Amino acid sequence: MGEEVDGNTVLAQSLKQQGVEFIFGIIGYPVIELSMALQMADIHYVGMRNEQAACYAAQALGYLTGNPAGVLCVSGPGVLHTFAGMANAQINCWPVVVIGGSSPQDHEGIGGFQECNQVELARPYCKYSARPPSVSLIPLHVEKAVRLSKNGRPGAVYLDFPANILSAKVDSTTIPRQYGPTEIPLIYPDPVKIQEAVELLGQAKRPLVIVGKGAAYSRAEKEVNELINASNLPFLATPMGKGVVPDTSDRCIGPARSLALQKADVILLLGARLNWILHFGRPERFSPDVKVIQIDILAEELHNSVKSAVAIQSDIKTAVSQIVDSLKQKKFEFSSSEEWWKVLKRKCEDNRKIVDGMASDVQPPLNYYAVFKNLYENIPEDCIIVSEGANTMDIGRSMLLNKLPRHRLDAGTFGTMGVGPGFAIAAALYCRHYEPKKRVICVEGDSAFGFSGMEIETMARYKLPITVVVVNNSGIYTGMEPEVFKDIQDSGEITKVTPPGCLSSCTRYDNMMALFGKPGFFVQTVPELKEAIGQALKIEDGPTVINVIINPTADRKPQTFNWLTESKL
C-alpha cells in the first residue's frame, strides 16, 4: 500500500510532469484546493480578473515559449467564459490547456450547482475535450491533452474535472507510471516538391515571399533570414510574422503590400494561410495567374481557397533550409536591377512620403500617424509590442516596426478584441522569467481597452512593468468632439441619437492608476507623449497607463482597396 493522494494532487503533479509551468485563472468552487495544489507542485499560478483574459494570457505564453500554459476556471459560467479564448487559440494555432471544474457527478441531471455539459460545449473550440473518469486516469488524459495542444497545428484542449474526482483519494500505487513530455516530431518535406518550388522561383519575374505567424511559432527565423538574404527575394510579413525577418530590412516591401500581392507572379507562402488576412489569395487582390508555393505543417490546409502550384507539407525550418541549399547550389539570386524591384521600391517610397506627411502634422488633436511615429522613436528596439483596436492596430502594424520574431502580439486571425491586457501580462511574465531586460508596450484603442481594462489590477498585483498606451479617439471607429457629445448627452434622447460607435469623450483612463497609488499620464501633444514614455519606462515595479487623446475623426491614409475583401459569390 502506498500513501493516499487526492485528484487535485494527481492533476497538479501530472501537469508539472508534462512541462506546464504557468496556470492563469480565477478560483472558486470546486477548484480552490486545486489552485493550491498547483503551487505546491511548483507551478506558477497567476490570478486574473476574467476567464477570457486568463485564456488569452495562457495562449500568448504558449506562443512565446512553444510550451502550453494552462487556464483554471470554475464550473458553468467560468468554463463558458473561456470559450472566446479557446476559439482564439484554436484559430490562432497557439497551444493552451483549459482545466475546468464541474458539478459532482452524483448531482448531474438533478440541477447541480452550475451544472453544464462542459465537455461537449467545449468540443467545437478545441482539438481535444475529455473528462478523466477516475483519479488514476488523470495522468493519461493530461499527457494526451498537452501532447495534442502542441503537436501538428497547435491549439486548445479542454479537460473537465467534477468536484468528486478532484476530492477523491486513491492509493498512489494505483496510478500508472507517468512519463514526461514527448518531443514534437519534425515533418520533412518531399524532396521532389522542394525542387519544383526552386524551379518555379527561378522562373519568376515578379516573385514574393510571405512570412506568416507559423514561421514565427516554429522558430524558423534563422532559416528564413538566410533565404531572404541569399536570394534577394522581396518579402512581406503577416501581422504576427513581423520580425521573423526584421521590418527594417531593405528587402521588406511592406509599404507596397497591395501592389506586391496584386502583381506577383510567384508567391512563396511560409506558414501563412490564404484566409481573410491575405484576401483568400484571389483576384482582384492577387493576379489571376499567380502561382503559389505553399508550405504548411497541416496537410488539410494545402490548396485551401486556391490550388497551389506546389504544395509542401512540412515544418517551415526543414523546408526552408532545403530550399536555401538548393538555391545556393544553383547560385540563384534575384537581381536588384530587375524591373520588379524597381517598381516595388518606387511604391514603398511613395507610400512612405504619404505617411511621413501625415506623421509630421503634430497639431493637437493628434492623428494616429503622429502618435505612432513618436511612440516608435521613443520605445526600446527590442520591446514586445502588444496591439489591438481597429485603426490603432492596423495603422500601428505598419509604423511600430519589429526587428525580432514573436515580438508582436495582436488580435490575430480571429480578430478578437480584448486580448491586449492578457497578452501583455503573458509577455511581461515571459520577459521576467526568460529575457528580464525586455519591456512590454501594450498599445490599445480605447474601445479595445474597455474589454479587459481591469486586468491592470493583475499587472499591479504581480508588479509587471507594462506600459499601456491608450490611443483614445472616444469611439470604436470614430468618436465625437467633446462639445458635440455633451450636447447630445443633455438632449434627453441620448440612446436614439448617439452614433452606435461613440464612447464617452476624452475618458481619463490614466486616472485608473490612482487605484494603485501609481501615476498615469494624460497626453494631448507630442512633447507630452515623449515625456510620458520616458517616465513610464523608468517604472519597474508595475504598470502605467498613457492616455493619448487624438482627433475623434482621425483615420488611416486612403486605401487602394477596402481593408476586407468582399465575397463575390
Q: ∠ CA 323-382-86 to the nearest 5 degrees?
A: 75
* Number of domains within the chain: 3
Q: What percentage of the chain exceeds 90 in pLDDT?
A: 91
Residues 338 and 380 in one domain: no
Residue 262: all three cell numbers together: 496584386
Residue-wise pLDDT tens digits, 299-343: 999 999 999 999 999 999 999 999 999 999 999 999 999 999 999
Which of 144, 174, 204 lies at the terminal end of a domain, its last residue? 174
What integer is the mean pLDDT of 183-196? 96
Q: Coil, strand or helix: which one is 487?
A: helix
- Of the candidates 474, 382, 462, the one whose C-alpha atom is nearest the C-alpha of residue 421 is 462
pLDDT score of 1: 67
Residue 139 has pLDDT above 50, yes or no: yes
Residue 568 has pLDDT above 70, yes or no: no
Residue 136 β-bridge partners: none
- Is 510 inside any structural domain? yes
Sequence-separated (6 or more) residues with CB below 8 Å from residue 205: 265, 338, 340
Residue 485 has pLDDT above 80, yes or no: yes
- Is 320 inside any structural domain? yes
What integer is the mean pLDDT of 220-234? 98
What integer is the mean pLDDT of 429-434? 98
- Is 396 inside any structural domain? yes
Sequence-separated (6 or more) residues with CB below 8 Å from residue 398: 254, 255, 355
Range of the domain at 243: 191-346
Residues 406 and 494 in one domain: yes
Residues 104 and 234 in one domain: no
The answer to whether 444 and 388 have CB atoms below 8 angstroms apart is: yes
Residues 91 and 42 in one domain: yes
Alpha helices in 93-190 (DSSP H): 118-122, 138-150, 163-167
Residues 16 and 137 in one domain: yes
Residues 380 and 515 in one domain: yes
Residues 318 and 412 in one domain: no
410-429 burial: b if 16+ Cβ within 10 Å, else e: bbbbebbbbbbbbbbbbbbb
CATH for 395: 3.40.50.970
In one-letter notation, the amino acid at residue 456 is: I
Residues 138 and 41 in one domain: yes
In one-letter notation, the amino acid at residue 80 is: L
pLDDT score of 177: 82
What integer is the mean pLDDT of 478-486? 91
What integer is the mean pLDDT of 133-149? 97
Gap between the Cα atoms of 202 and 194, Å rounded: 12
- Is 453 inside any structural domain? yes
Residue 353 has pLDDT above 90, yes or no: yes
- Is 266 inside any structural domain? yes
What rounded mean pLDDT belongs to the chain?
A: 96
Residue-wise pLDDT tens digits, 537-565: 999 999 999 999 999 999 887 776 676 66
Residue 492 confidence class, pLDDT cut points 50, 70, 90:
confident
Residue 128 has pLDDT above 60, yes or no: yes
Residue 566 confidence class, pLDDT cut points 50, 70, 90:
low
Which of 130, 148, 174 lies at the terminal end of a domain, its last residue? 174
What integer is the mean pLDDT of 233-244? 98
CATH for 305: 3.40.50.1220
26 burial level (CB within 10 Å; 0-12, 13-18, 19+): buried
Residues 452 and 487 in one domain: yes
- Is 403 inside any structural domain? yes
What integer is the mean pLDDT of 403-430? 97
pLDDT score of 73: 98
Gap between the Cα atoms of 426 and 104, Å rounded: 32
Residue 569 has pLDDT above 50, yes or no: no
Residues 238 and 373 in one domain: no
pTM of the model: 0.97
Residues 380 and 525 in one domain: yes
Which of 119, 144, 174 lies at the terminal end of a domain, its last residue? 174
Q: Which residue has the cell 506558414?
A: 271
Gap between the Cα atoms of 392 and 135, Å rounded: 48
- Is 353 inside any structural domain? no
- Is 185 inside any structural domain? no
Residues 220 and 91 in one domain: no
